[in-house]
């Protein structure tokens, strides 16, 4: 159980922060006689002006991308990571191991660690699992229904003070829909025995006599998988209801249940595939796989006009997951079991107006989160338990408060600054060795500062500095070293955003990030501290519309992101594993009205990832090859509500490089299918 003193610290900090949100509104109202809302910037799929004083994330002096529902609909989505594939500087990896958290990385952080270096939030609920046995801040987004997403906000770099734990490479905020105009049903199927059914129920206004605007979605999914022993079954059901409240507010309640069971082919030796000893579809152990069940309740309350609003979120999340995986070097199967209950609340108040003639904004917020976790790890033999290696229960509380100020002293200059204070406390019971049951905690300050200069209306120049952190892994790092503290990173960025005719944009941003300690973990292996590291890179991204009117559009987009990720003080080798030295994306999006109301639309893009270092725990190093990926999707929507689509993803080059890892001098991979196709039909009721 957590100590009473820790409870008081956490609740006192969060309670004080939430009190300030309410009390501060009155004080600000007195200081500013007539606050003026400047509105929320909403630009889908491309950057917006960073010179405005607004709480919208794309107005930060940082590289931010917002992806809207229509853009998601146009994208091929074999897996949730495909939402992020075209985003400049983002690298994704499809592990092909069933219902686990897959790889997402950016700013030079590797994809092999289950997305741990990005802070994820869905409808105000944090997603990262603190102190997970897979990896610290493990991120599993399999419960996401792409069709339910209203928008996705991607902030590259740790600049926003709204995100704390895991805000290292940046943050991803996902907001789901409150409603749609009408119900819908759809089915799809394709390669490797894949089948999916989806149904939604909603309407544009409240149900008569109830005041509730509903949004319900349910999914059933099955695939046999490209490789042997890759079958996966899952279900997903979400119910949301929204009611109007006083003060132009809304209160939304969401209930969601997700579950899945799968077999996993494991990671197989690359040299044995290349020599013909085994095929690319081979599996390692027919008893590998896993199961996960998750249920959540989320409440969202928003009141007030945009940029002068108050937001309160509360959530309860229950997860239970088991995974069996076999080492490709030793042949030992390991079972990981993780059960956790997570509860918390967060709030944010924004005031916007003129202060002594300057456009200004004050944002204040507070977070409180408690995780109650039971973790164990054991050697197994065809899922029969052997020696237990980890068996621990722990409670972790995280409490935080943050502030951000924007001031525009001149028409061409906006200053942004803020800080975040986080307090974490961990109380662990080691059931294997009770004497090694540490109680630990710490404080982290994460300052943020930046500026936007707009010398002409079409050009924004921006610069920022931000710090991020992650807390130690209780069930691995903390047991080994009870005095270990939070891991810190320090990031700088400078760039420009140019807006050109034909709705064209060009953004160039250079960045550098330094980290106190680089943590590496091969699949199923132990954590290794590789010392200090540094990452540098540049993101070039552009978009232009060749056609854009009410009946047709054609957009071209491209990006190029070179990265240099190095260890600073590690003898023997310098490269950080699983970071492509560059990524290139080029593609197009198009839509056309046809036949007096039908719509034809689609997306096609090509990506090329540079070679990447593959390093094992002993410093042995080699490289994975460069590889291309091509994705495409075509939609045809009939005006009567019927819709058809076809999508595909192809790996025309090296199919072993997207997933490549090393342990004890051996390279393993999870090969990708050369081609995967999917077709579907949907109907939206009128």
- pLDDT, tens digit, 9 for 90 and up, residues 546-569: 999 989 999 999 999 999 999 887
How far is the C-alpha of 129 from the C-alpha of 139, rounded, in Å?
A: 6
Paired with 353 in beta bridges are 360
Q: Are 212 and 203 in contact (CB under 8 A)?
A: no
> Which pLDDT band holds residue 48 (cuts at 50, 70, 90)?
very low
> Model confidence over 446-478: pLDDT tens digits?
999 999 999 998 999 999 999 999 999 898 888
> Which pLDDT band holds residue 30 (cuts at 50, 70, 90)?
very low
How many other β-carbons are positioned within 10 Å of the β-carbon of residue 190?
18
Main-chain dihedrals φ then ψ at residue 22, nearest 5 degrees = -75, -50
* pLDDT value at residue 525: 55
Both tokens of 235, joined, read 């279900």
Q: Is the pLDDT of residue 662 over 90?
A: no
> Which pLDDT band holds residue 223 (cuts at 50, 70, 90)?
very high
Q: Are 660 and 163 in contact (CB under 8 A)?
A: no
In this structure, of 435-444, 513-522, 606-615, the range with the lowest mean pLDDT score is 513-522
How far is the C-alpha of 307 from the C-alpha of 361, rounded, in Å?
A: 8
> Which pLDDT band holds residue 2 (cuts at 50, 70, 90)?
very low
* Residue 35, domain CATH: 2.40.170.20
Q: Are 341 and 372 in contact (CB under 8 A)?
A: yes
What's the distance, CA 282 to chain centroid?
A: 30
Paired with 175 in beta bridges are 151
Q: Are 59 and 48 in contact (CB under 8 A)?
A: yes
**Mean per-residue pLDDT, 166-175:** 96
How many other β-carbons are positioned within 10 Å of the β-carbon of residue 646?
17
Q: Which domain holds residue 170?
A: 4-684
Residue 323's H or E segment, with its range, is strand 310-326
Q: Are 213 and 179 in contact (CB under 8 A)?
A: yes
- Taking 3-state DSSP, the helix, strand and coil percentages for the chain, each rounded to the nearest 5, stand at 10, 55, 35
How far is the C-alpha of 403 from the C-alpha of 275, rounded, in Å?
A: 58
Whole-Å CA distances, 170 to 101, 118, 173: 17, 5, 10
How far is the C-alpha of 43 from the C-alpha of 298, rounded, in Å?
A: 27
Q: Is the pLDDT of residue 632 over 90?
A: yes
pLDDT-above-90 percentage for the chain: 76
* pLDDT value at residue 45: 40
Whole-Å CA distances, 531 to 111, 517, 566, 574: 19, 5, 11, 11
Main-chain dihedrals φ then ψ at residue 329, nearest 5 degrees = -100, -50
* pLDDT value at residue 553: 94
> Which pLDDT band holds residue 11 (cuts at 50, 70, 90)?
very low
- Strands 232-245 and 125-126 come out as unpaired
**Mean per-residue pLDDT, 122-148:** 94
How far is the C-alpha of 282 from the C-alpha of 328, rounded, in Å?
A: 12
Q: What is the dihedral of CA 531, 627, 70, 254, to 10 degrees?
A: -40
> Model confidence over 56-81: pLDDT tens digits?
999 999 999 999 999 999 999 888 98
The count of domains in the chain is 1
> Which pLDDT band holds residue 667 (cuts at 50, 70, 90)?
very high
* pLDDT value at residue 572: 65
> Model confidence over 207-221: pLDDT tens digits?
877 899 999 999 999
Return the higher-pLDDT residue of 520 and 652.
Answer: 652
- Strands 149-156 and 125-126 come out as unpaired
The reported pTM is 0.91
DSSP readout, 520-580? Answer: E--TT---EE---EEEEEEEEEEEEEEEESSSEEEEEEEEEEEEEEEESS-TT--BPTT-B
How many other β-carbons are positioned within 10 Å of the β-carbon of residue 319?
20
In this structure, of 436-440, 533-537, 678-682, the range with the lowest mean pLDDT score is 436-440
The answer to whether the Cα torsion of 50, 55, 58, 60 is positive or negative is: positive
């Amino acid at each position: 159980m957590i100590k009473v003193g820790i409870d008081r610290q956490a609740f006192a900090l969060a309670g004080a922060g939430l009190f300030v949100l309410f009390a501060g509104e009155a004080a600000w109202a007195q200081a500013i006689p007539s606050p003026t809302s400047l509105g929320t910037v909403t630009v889908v799929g491309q950057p917006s002006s960073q010179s405005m004083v607004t709480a919208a994330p794309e107005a930060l002096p940082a590289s931010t991308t917002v992806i809207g529902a229509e853009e998601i609909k146009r994208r091929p989505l074999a897996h949730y990571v495909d939402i992020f594939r075209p985003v400049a500087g983002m690298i994704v990896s499809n592990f092909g191991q069933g219902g686990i958290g897959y790889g997402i990385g950016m700013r030079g952080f590797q994809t092999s660690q289950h997305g741990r270096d990005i802070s994820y939030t869905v409808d105000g609920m944090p997603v990262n699992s603190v102190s997970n046995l897979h990896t610290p801040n493990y991120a599993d987004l399999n419960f996401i229904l792409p069709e339910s997403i209203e928008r996705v906000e991607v902030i590259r770099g740790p600049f926003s003070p709204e995100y704390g734990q895991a805000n290292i490479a940046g943050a991803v905020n996902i907001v789901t829909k409150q409603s749609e105009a009408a119900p819908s049903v759809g089915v799809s199927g394709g390669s490797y025995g894949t089948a999916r059914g989806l149904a939604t129920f909603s309407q544009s206004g409240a149900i008569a006599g109830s005041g509730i605007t509903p949004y319900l979605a349910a999914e059933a999914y099955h695939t046999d998988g490209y490789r042997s022993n890759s079958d996966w079954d899952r279900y997903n059901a979400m119910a949301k209801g929204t009611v109007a409240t006083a003060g132009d507010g809304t209160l939304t309640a969401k209930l969601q249940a997700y579950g899945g069971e799968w077999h996993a082919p494991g990671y197989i030796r690359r040299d044995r595939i290349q020599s013909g000893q085994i095929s690319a579809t081979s599996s390692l152990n027919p008893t590998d796989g896993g199961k996960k069940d998750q249920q959540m309740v989320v409440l969202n309350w928003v009141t007030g006009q945009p940029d002068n609003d108050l937001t309160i979120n509360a959530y309860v999340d229950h997860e239970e997951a088991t995974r069996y995986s076999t080492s490709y070097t030793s042949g030992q199967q390991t079972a990981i079991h993780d059960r956790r209950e997570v509860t918390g609340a967060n709030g944010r108040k924004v005031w916007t107006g003129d202060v002594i003639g300057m456009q200004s904004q004050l944002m204040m917020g507070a977070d409180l989160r408690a995780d109650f976790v039971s973790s164990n790890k054991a050697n197994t033999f065809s899922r029969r338990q052997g020696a237990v290696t980890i068996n621990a229960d722990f409670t972790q509380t995280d409490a935080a408060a943050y502030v951000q100020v924007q001031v525009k002293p001149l028409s061409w200059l906006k200053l942004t600054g803020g800080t975040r204070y986080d307090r974490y406390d961990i109380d662990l019971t080691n059931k294997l060795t009770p004497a090694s049951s540490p109680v630990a905690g710490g404080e982290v300050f994460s300052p943020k500062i930046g500026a936007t200069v707009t010398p002409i209306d079409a050009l924004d120049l921006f610069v920022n500095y931000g710090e991020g952190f992650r807390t130690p892994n209780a069930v691995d790092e903390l047991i080994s070293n009870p005095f270990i503290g939070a891991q810190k990173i320090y990031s700088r960025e400078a760039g420009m955003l140019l807006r050109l005719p034909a709705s064209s944009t060009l953004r160039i941003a250079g960045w550098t990030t330094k980290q106190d300690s680089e943590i590496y973990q091969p699949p199923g292996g132990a954590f290794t501290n590789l010392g200090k590291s540094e990452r540098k890179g540049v993101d070039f991204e552009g978009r232009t519309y060749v056609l854009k009117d009410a009946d047709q559009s054609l957009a071209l987009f491209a990006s190029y992101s070179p990265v240099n990720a190095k260890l600073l003080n590690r003898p023997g080798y310098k490269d950080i594993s699983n970071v492509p030295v560059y990524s290139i994306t080029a593609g197009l999006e198009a839509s056309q009205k046809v036949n007096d109301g039908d719509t034809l639309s689609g997306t096609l893009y090509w990506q090329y990832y540079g070679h990447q270092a593959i390093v094992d725990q002993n410093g042995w190093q080699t490289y994975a090859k460069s590889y291309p990926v091509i994705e495409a999707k075509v939609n045809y929507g009939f005006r009567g509500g019927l819709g058809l689509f076809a999508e595909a993803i192809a790996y025309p080059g090296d199919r072993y490089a997207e997933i490549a890892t090393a342990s004890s001098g051996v390279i393993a991979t999870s090969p990708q299918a050369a081609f995967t196709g999917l077709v579907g039909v949907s109907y939206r009721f009128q």
